[in-house]
Amino acid sequence: MTAAADIGGLKILVADSSRAYEWRTAAALSEPGMTADSWIGNQCVLDRDHVAAVYAPRHFTNKPDLMQGGAFAAIVNTSDGHVTKLPFTVSLAYFDPSCNTRTHTAAFTAFRDMNDPAKTRTRVVTVDAAGRTLDEAALRGEVTSAVPVADGAVAARGRDLVHIDRSGKVKSLATGNSVPFDIRPAGNGRIGFVEREDTKRARAKVWSGHGKPALVATGKLGDLDLMPGAEGRVFLTGDPAAAPRTQGTGITRIDAPPTRTSPPWGVSPWNRCSPRCPRGPRARQERGQGILQGGAPPQGDPAPTPRPWRRTSR
């Protein structure tokens, strides 16, 4: 599964193994009456039939308030194209949304007043595959890379890996050398994440539920990634500088390049195929399939009026 920016809407593209990985458009996300030269966004996978997505006109990236908390959110059923539009607005940050394939939930993040650290506020909303809101926390400061877990969410606040419970209370779990990102629940209370070592290198680590995080792998910044897989599995991709220490971490090393594209639903996030297999929107040129032109129009609920989020904080 991946997404492609398009003038008609953010295209959610799905490739099924039963159809020889031929890409098809599951939905095109846009808002009635809004003009855009292109609709952009991010997406993640909740389960084999549901995708959480953030989308907005491209020009939103030029307006700080819209970039930080003005984008739209939806849950897409990829099996039938039904779109459930969510009644709140969110950030276009690279980590938004984040999904947990074990709990089949997604976390959406929005920010306010980021130009003034003393006033910055973060909202994290967790929803299920039906689009129902499970948790909503309004927090002081900047909280990033939030991902849902069974009892709330885990995220980064500065250098700290933190847990946010269902009441919005924040607890520090561990402190890293820099801001954690690519945060992935790895089962049995373990949390994997990546952090910068300096301006050129990154480290993948895992927090086991107590003590300090353990080093899993190091590599060039941008060459190391933790990717989610089916049923809560976590995969280390990219080019580690040395043999990774994955035993007992809940992380599996696979030989695949780092990527932001959501993986196929299966045992691994990377199903190997020949070089002729489609691997993205460019497959239209390679195989003559009209992915970015035409396709099924979005179906489902009309867009609700996004509600402003409360300024209460904890």
In tens, the pLDDT along 264-304 reads 444 333 333 333 333 333 333 333 333 333 344 444 444 44
Q: What is the mean pLDDT of residues 189-193?
A: 95
Beta-carbon-side half-sphere exposure of residue 226 (alpha carbons within 13 Å): 31
pLDDT score recorded for residue 141? 94
Separation CA 234–CA 188 (nearest Å): 12
**252-286 as b/e: b if 16+ CB within 10 A:** bbeebebbeebbbbeebbbeeeeeeebbebebbee
Q: What is the mean pLDDT of residues 115-138?
A: 95
Task: Using pLDDT thresholds of 50, 70 and 90, give the confidence band for residue 261.
Answer: low
Answer for the pair 163, 156: CB distance below 8 angstroms, yes or no. Answer: no
Among 4-8, 63-67, 139-143, 267-271, whose mean pLDDT is lowest? 267-271
pLDDT score recorded for residue 60? 96
